Chains A and B, each alone.
Chain A
Amino acid sequence: MNSYSPKITSPGSIWTRTATVATALACAALLPLGNAQAQSGKIKIGLMLPYTGTYAALGNAVTNGFKLYVEESGGKLGGRDIEYFVVDDESDPAKATENTNKLVKRDQVDVLVGTVHSGVAMGMAKVARENNTLFVVPNAGADELTGPLCAPNIFRTSFSNWQSAYAMGPVVYEKRARKVVTLTWKYAAGKQMTDAFAEAFEKAGGKVVKEMTLPFPNVEFQPFLTEIAALKPDAVFVFFAGGGAAKFVKDYGAAGLRASIPLYAPGFLTDGTLEAMGDAGQGLLTTLHYADGLTNAKDQAFRAGYAKAYKAAPDVYAVQGYDAAQLLATGLSAVKGDVSKRAELVKAMEAARIDSPRGAFTLSKAHNPVQDIYLRKAEGKENKVVSVVSKALADPARGCKM
C-alpha cells in the first residue's frame, strides 16, 4: 500500500481559484435574468422526470406521452404555445427540492409535471405547496400526495399505491386463496401496497399469514422462496418493479413455486419487464389501471399515434403522461390559456372527465383519478385485459383535509 501524502498549496492560489469560480458563478447567475421575461407569450411547462438511472425509461415514456398530446393539439394547450423546461431528477430524493426550485424559482414555470420516484415527488409537492405552483403527478403513487399532502394545486393522473393493490384483494379471495404471504422491498411504496392488499383481502375474509420484506434494492430472493415453500400459503402477493421484478419472477418460476402457489401483484411487476422475464412471466395475473388489448377507440388512436411518433409501443407511463397533458388542456381551455385565473383553472380540472386511453376517468376530491382497475394476464409481451375488477375505484384519501 502506498503511503498517504496530501498536496499542500499556498493559501494565495486557493483564493485565486475561489475568486475565479465565484465570479464565473455570479456571471452565470445574472445571465438568465434577462431571458426570463422575454417569452411571456408561452405557457411554461416544467418537466421534472428521471432521464438517467434506474427509472430513465419511465421518465422518457412519460415525456413522450405528454408531448404526444401537445403535438396532437397543434403544439398548444388552451390556445397558447407551450415552452418546455426540462430537469433530470435522477430519481435522487436528496436533490428533489433543489431540482424543483430550478423549475419553480429559476424558470418560473406555470405548471410543474413530475415524477416517477415517490420520494422525489414528495419533495416536489413541498415546493409546489409553498410556492402555490400548479403540480401534476404523472406517476409517483405515494398515497400521501393525494392524502395528507393534498392541496388545491396538486393533481395526479396516474394512481395511488392503495388503488392498484387494493383491487387485487377480492381477486385473490375469489381464486379460493385464504392464506396469503406478501413480499416486497422494505420501503414506503412497498408497505403501502401490501397494506392495501391486506386491507381488501382480509375484508373479503382471507388472512395474510406473513408479511415479508427485504432491504431495497436487494434482489437475492432465494431465502424468501425457501420460506414460502415451507409456509405453503394458498397464494403469494408481491410488489416489485423494474429489474427486481424480472429477477423475482424468474427466481419464483425456477424454484418451482409457480406450479403450486399462484403469484399475484400490482401491474408494475409485469410492465416493461415481460421481455426480460421470458417464459417465467407468462400467465401472470396483475391489477392495474391500464392494460393491453383495450377496445375503446381512444386507446386505439393513442397507440397508433404513439407508435407513429416514437416507433415504439406505449406503456402505462406514456398513458399517464398523455393524460397529464389532457388534464392541463381541460383546465387551460376553460380559462382560455390565462393561467392567472387559478381558481377557475383548478375548478375546471377538478370537474374534468378525462377521455383517457385507459378508459374515461374523473378526479376525486383529493385530485386522484377515480378509475377502473383491470385484471390483466401476461401473454407474450403484453398484459392482456381479462376483466374490470374494480369499477371506478376511488382512493380513500386518508388524511386529506380538502
Chain B
Amino acid sequence: MSASFNTFLKLLVLALVLAFPFVGSAFYTELVAKGLILAIFAMSLDLLVGVTGLVSFGHAAYFGVAAYVLALLTPKYQAANLWLSLPVAVLVAGLVALLVGFFVLRTRGIYFIMVTLAFAQMAYYIFHDTDLGGGSDGIYVNFKPSAAIAGWTPFDLDQPKALYFFILVCALAVYGGLRRLKESSFGSILQGIRDNESRMLAMGYATYRYKLAAFAVAGALAGVAGYLYGALYGFVTPEYLSWHQSGNVLLMVILGGMGNFGGAVAGAFAFVAMQEFFAAWTKHWQLLMGAVIVGAVLFLPGGISALPARLKRKPRESADE
C-alpha cells in the first residue's frame, strides 16, 4: 500500500468523523463519541499489551477511578471546571496506576494478568461497598464540566457538538501522542522489553522502571477516557471498574490488532457497532456476540487490522502462524 494512499485513507476517516455530527442524528453522534472514548481507552491498554507486552486484566480500574474523580469533584448544583477536574482525574488515575504498578510489575505472565485483576477487584469493591461514591446505585454528574477560564468560556460542553469535538480532539491527541511515544527511544525500549526482557536487562536497562512508567502513563490515559465517559453520560457506577469492562477493553484491543494504536481504534468501533447491531436484532444477542468473539480468535489471529495482509499472503501462511 503506497504512502499516499495511506494518507488518503487517514484523511478520509478523519473527514468522516469530523462531518458526522452535522449529518448523523443526536443519538448516533453520541454513539460515535462513545466509540472515540473507548478508542482512547483501548489505545491506552494497547500501550501495555501491544507495545510493552504486559497483559493487564484490570485496566477498567483506572478508567473508573477517573470517572469517580469527576463525579466527586462536581458540586451538586454546579459544574466542575474542566481545566481543573480533567488534570486532577488524569493525575489520580495515573497515581493509582503507579501505586498498583509498583506491586504488580514484580510478577510476570499469567500471574501478572491475575494480579492486575485482583487490584481492579479491590478498587471495584471500594466503590461498591463504601459510601464514597454513592455505593452500588452509582452517582450522578449533574452538570457537564465547564470550560470557563477566568470568566471567558471558549466552548460549552453542554452543546453535544462541542462535547463531541472536544472528545475527538482528545482522541486525536492521545493517538498522536502514543504514536510519537512509540517512535521515541522510550518506546523502543518498551518494545525491546516486549520482545526480550532479559536482553534489555543485560544491556543495562532498568526494565522495571520503564515498565512502571508505561503502566502509569497507560493508567493516566485510561483516566482521560473514564473522565470523558463520565462527562458524556453524566452517570458513574462501580460497574465501570468491573472485570467485564477490563475484559471488554482487552477484547477491543485484540479484535482490532495490537501494537500500533490504529488497531485499537478499529477494535473499539467494531465493538460498539457489533453490540449495537446484535442487540437490535435479537434478545439473545449475547450468543451472537460470543460466537463472533470465538470465531474471531479462531479464524482471525492478529485482529481485524491483520485481515488485508492475511488475505494477500494466504497461500504461503498457515492458519496459526
Contacts and interface: CB of A to CB of B under 8 A. Distances in A.
B235 A122 contact: yes
B228 to A, nearest CB: 13
B26 interface: yes
B233 A97 contact: yes
Given A19-B9, A25-B32, A119-B237, A9 B273 contact: no
B260 A126 contact: no
Main secondary structure of the interface of B (DSSP, over half): helix
Contacts of B138: 93, 96, 119, 122-123
A25 B304 contact: no
A7 B110 contact: no
The residue among A16, A17, A19 with the most chain B CB atoms within 10 A of its own CB is A17
B242 to A, nearest CB: 7
A126 B279 CA distance: 23
Q: Taking chain A's interface residues, is the majority helix, strand, or loop, or is none over half, making it mixed?
A: helix
B258 A7 contact: yes
Contacts of A144: 137
B109 A4 contact: yes
B308 to A, nearest CB: 4
Contact of A17 (B24, B55, B242, B266): B266
A21 B265 CA distance: 10
B24 A30 contact: yes
A17 B233 contact: no
B249 to A, nearest CB: 12
Given A13-B306, A126-B235, A22 B136 contact: no
A52 interface: yes
Interface in A1-28: 1, 4, 6-19, 21-26, 28
Contact of B305 (A13, A30, A92): A13
B50 interface: yes
A184 B170 CA distance: 43
Q: For chain A, give the interface size range.
A: 35 or more
A93 B235 CA distance: 9
Interface string B8-51: 01101100110010011111101110110000000000000110
Interface string A174-218: 000000000000111101000000000000000000000001100
A98 interface: yes
A94 interface: yes
Interface in A255-306: none
Interface string B304-318: 111111000000000
A7 B257 contact: yes
A126 B9 CA distance: 39
Contact of A187 (B34, B128, B242, B272): B128
A87 B10 contact: no
A13 to B, nearest CB: 4
A101 interface: yes
Interface in B213-258: 233-235, 237-240, 242, 244-245, 256-258
A88 interface: yes
Contacts of B273: 21, 24-25, 28
B53 interface: yes
B235 A15 contact: no
A134 to B, nearest CB: 18
A32 interface: yes
Contacts of B83: none
B245 A105 contact: no
Contacts of A119: 136-138, 237, 239
A13 B137 contact: no
A102 interface: yes
B258 A21 contact: no
B164 interface: no
A105 B30 contact: yes
B125 interface: yes
B302 interface: yes
A25 B53 contact: no
Interface string A28-45: 111011001000000000
Given A9-B259, A17-B304, A52 B13 contact: no
Given A29-B25, A52-B286, A186-B129, A15 B13 contact: yes
Interface of A: 1, 4, 6-19, 21-26, 28-30, 32-33, 36, 51-52, 87-88, 92-94, 96-98, 101-102, 105-106, 118-119, 122-123, 126, 130, 142, 144, 186-189, 191, 215-216
19 contacts: A1-B109, A4-B109, A7-B302, A7-B303, A9-B260, A12-B9, A13-B309, A15-B10, A15-B13, A17-B266, A18-B13, A26-B16, A30-B24, A88-B279, A93-B137, A93-B235, A96-B138, A122-B138, A189-B136
Given A7-B257, A21-B304, A28-B276, 19 more contacts: A1-B110, A4-B53, A4-B109, A13-B1, A14-B263, A16-B308, A17-B307, A18-B13, A28-B273, A29-B28, A30-B28, A92-B239, A94-B245, A98-B30, A106-B27, A106-B28, A144-B137, A187-B129, A188-B136
